[in-house]
Amino acid sequence: MYYVSTRNKALRYTAAQAIAQGLSREGGLFVPETIPTLPERKLEELKGMNYQQRAVYIMGLYLDGFTREELEARAALAYAVPEKFDHPDVAPLRKVDGNTYCLELWHGPTCAFKDMALQMLPHELSLALKKNDEHRTACILVATSGDTGKAALEGFKDVDQTKILVFYPKDGVSDIQKLQMATQEGGNVGVSAVVGNFDDAQTGVKTLFSDEALREELSRRGYFLSSANSINWGRVLPQIVYYISAYCDLLKQGAIQCGEEINICVPTGNFGNILAAYYAKRMGLPVKKLVCASNANNVLTDFIRTGVYDRNRPFYTTVSPSMDILISSNLERLLYLLSGEDDALTADYMAQLSATGRYEVSPAIRAQIQDLFGAGFSTEAQTEAMIGAMKREKDYLIDTHTAVAFEVLRQYRAETGDDTIAVVASTASPFKFCDAVLDALGVTEKQSGTDLLDQLAQVSGVAAPAPLATLKDKQVRFDGWTEKEAMEQVVTDFLR
């Protein structure tokens, strides 16, 4: 199976090339040329398998240049229990009430759903390099506002033929996030703070990527720069697995009959996670509606309701920071698919977005989007209220991002009367966002730093996940910082 660019489908690549390269040269995203389908009986068969086996089968459909043995070995490493994931099901499905289930995607080493993909991507990349006969080492550069950096560090830690260097804004991440990165283990990792905000760190990294002299110097030393951000197909693919896996678990629990449609509700930022659910549907998973949940940065809610994407609006900092995004990059893949794989039209929408911050899709695309998706947003007050209500009424402690999804599902059901069994994607452990969760539970006298973990555990009666609870005993390895003008020096020192 080949991969093509959303902006020029004449360019064809193998899976290994698409994963190693990340982004197509003209700026398009790689998509599989055809979408494999799941025979209905296959779901019954997958039902009897564990998560790792389901991942090998589903990812194998898209990675035909990779052998079954290769994928089995990598899935065993990426989703090892208990070394990497603290739950035997890896991505367990929890029943919330008669027609609502919660897919917990945060049982991995950094307690956020990014682990589901970032535990797998480094292995895909390292295999891809071998297949491409690439002998240089990939140096992954990441600018992070918090969650992605730590998940990428854990994923790439000690993976063959890779090194990873993460930059974070010095005063732009929480104490716990900073400590998570500063105590990172592994022989191929580096972390540096940047004086400035997230945009400074991100702009600095982009400048490094476009620096030809630096590329040549690194190549002489046996390195090339690569990226782990969410537009890499290697990150979308492992996310398709857990939606199909959740359906199998519903079958296993006797909640649905095979072939019965379900709804899926996803707290959305860059549109990667919900796009993976759409791919699962296109593969034949019986899904009725995909409900796209946003916070106050509701550019996607407006887009799905009107067909107009307009990023010219105020940016809000919310209690669900991983969804504070105005440009949802992965939407490009959806537009390509819904336009009948019209690469010229997709390129035109993206050009308008970059020139004016706005585009309007054709009536035909809008109609399909409205048929496929429900959409809504949760205000800060609604998010807080939902955390409180879930704890009181269902004895279930959820994080701020997950609360956005539960609130939007509530609105969707009230507006449409559609009470189909729904799976809500839960994207982070509540202990990653102790501060806001304690607020929502009505706690006014809050501790600080890692003491917040103990406080939330005490108030909620739920134990903090081990990777966070043990942070305070870990040794700080990285306490360096740099001015943004000197980031290149940090890279060349790191790759010495």
Ligand X SMILES: *Cc1c(COP(=O)(O)O)cnc(C)c1O
> 218-237: which residues touch ligand X (CB under 6 A)?
230
Question: Which strands, in side-by-side order, build the sheet including 422-426?
Answer: 93-97, 100-104, 422-426, 262-267, 287-294, 373-377
Q: Which of 390, 62, 358, 462 is nearest to 238 (CA)?
A: 62
Q: Which residues contact residue 45 at a Cβ distance below 8 angstroms, ignoring those fewer than 6 apart? A: none
Residue 322 found at the interface with ligand X (CB under 6 A): yes
Q: Which is nearer to ligand X, 18 or 112 (CB)?
A: 112
Q: Which residue among 232, 273, 339, 482 contacts ligand X (CB under 6 A)?
A: 273
Q: Which of 83, 12, 21, 90 is nearest to 50 (CA)?
A: 90
Question: Least distance in Å: CB of 430 to ligand X?
Answer: 11
Q: Which is nearer to ligand X, 126 or 400 (CB)?
A: 400
Q: Which residue among 21, 52, 110, 270 contacts ligand X (CB under 6 A)?
A: 270
Question: Least distance in Å: CB of 401 to ligand X?
Answer: 4
- Do the beta carbons of residue 320 and residue 387 sit within 8 Å? no
Distance CA 435, CA 389 (A): 17
- For residue 383, the number of C-alpha atoms closer than 13 Å in the C-beta half-sphere is 28
Residue 184 found at the interface with ligand X (CB under 6 A): no
DSSP letter string over 152-211?
Answer: HHHHHTT-TTEEEEEEEETTSS-HHHHHHHHT---TTEEEEEESS-HHHHHHHHHHHHT-
Q: Which residue among 147, 154, 384, 435 contacts ligand X (CB under 6 A)?
A: 147
Question: Least distance in Å: CB of 29 to ligand X?
Answer: 13
> 248-267: which residues touch ligand X (CB under 6 A)?
267
Residue 373 found at the interface with ligand X (CB under 6 A): no
Instruction: Look at strands 3-5 and 30-32 and give their pairing.
Output: antiparallel
Question: Least distance in Å: CB of 39 to ligand X?
Answer: 28
Question: Least distance in Å: CB of 253 to ligand X?
Answer: 25
Residue span binding ligand X (CB under 6 A) among the ranges 59-67, 242-250, 269-277, 297-305 = 269-277
- DSSP label of 476: P
Residue 467 found at the interface with ligand X (CB under 6 A): no
Query: Identity (one letter) of the amino acid at 327?
Result: I
Q: How far is CA 305 from the centre of its chain?
A: 24
Question: Least distance in Å: CB of 491 to ligand X?
Answer: 25
Residue 333 found at the interface with ligand X (CB under 6 A): no
Question: Least distance in Å: CB of 42 to ligand X?
Answer: 26
Distance CA 323, CA 319 (A): 9
Cis amide bond preceding 92, omega within 30: no
Residue span binding ligand X (CB under 6 A) among the ranges 79-87, 94-102, 268-276, 299-307 = 268-276
Strand partners, 97: 100
Q: Which is nearer to ligand X, 70 or 399 (CB)?
A: 399
> 105-144: which residues touch ligand X (CB under 6 A)?
112-114
Residue 269 found at the interface with ligand X (CB under 6 A): yes
Q: Which is nearer to ligand X, 90 or 300 (CB)?
A: 300
**How many residues bind ligand X, per CB under 6 A?**
17
DSSP letter string over 293-328?
Answer: EE-S--HHHHHHHHSEEE--S-----S-GGG--S--
Question: Least distance in Å: CB of 220 to ligand X?
Answer: 36
Question: Least distance in Å: CB of 112 to ligand X?
Answer: 5
Strand partners, 166: 142, 191
The pair of structure tokens assigned to 424 is: 């809500």
- Do the beta carbons of residue 434 and residue 176 sit within 8 Å? yes
Residue 268 found at the interface with ligand X (CB under 6 A): yes
Mask 421-450, x = binds ligand X (CB under 6 A)? ------xx----------------------
Q: Which is nearer to ligand X, 218 or 398 (CB)?
A: 398
Question: Least distance in Å: CB of 406 to ligand X?
Answer: 13
How far CA 315 is from CA of 267, 321, 324, 327, 412, in Å, comes to 17, 11, 8, 11, 24
Q: How many residues does the structure list for the chain?
A: 496
Q: Which residue among 107, 178, 281, 401 contacts ligand X (CB under 6 A)?
A: 401
Question: Least distance in Å: CB of 400 to ligand X?
Answer: 8
Specify the 3-state DSSP secondary structure of 90: coil
Q: Which is nearer to ligand X, 334 or 453 (CB)?
A: 334
Interface residues with ligand X (CB under 6 A) are: 112-114, 147, 230, 267-273, 322-323, 401, 427-428
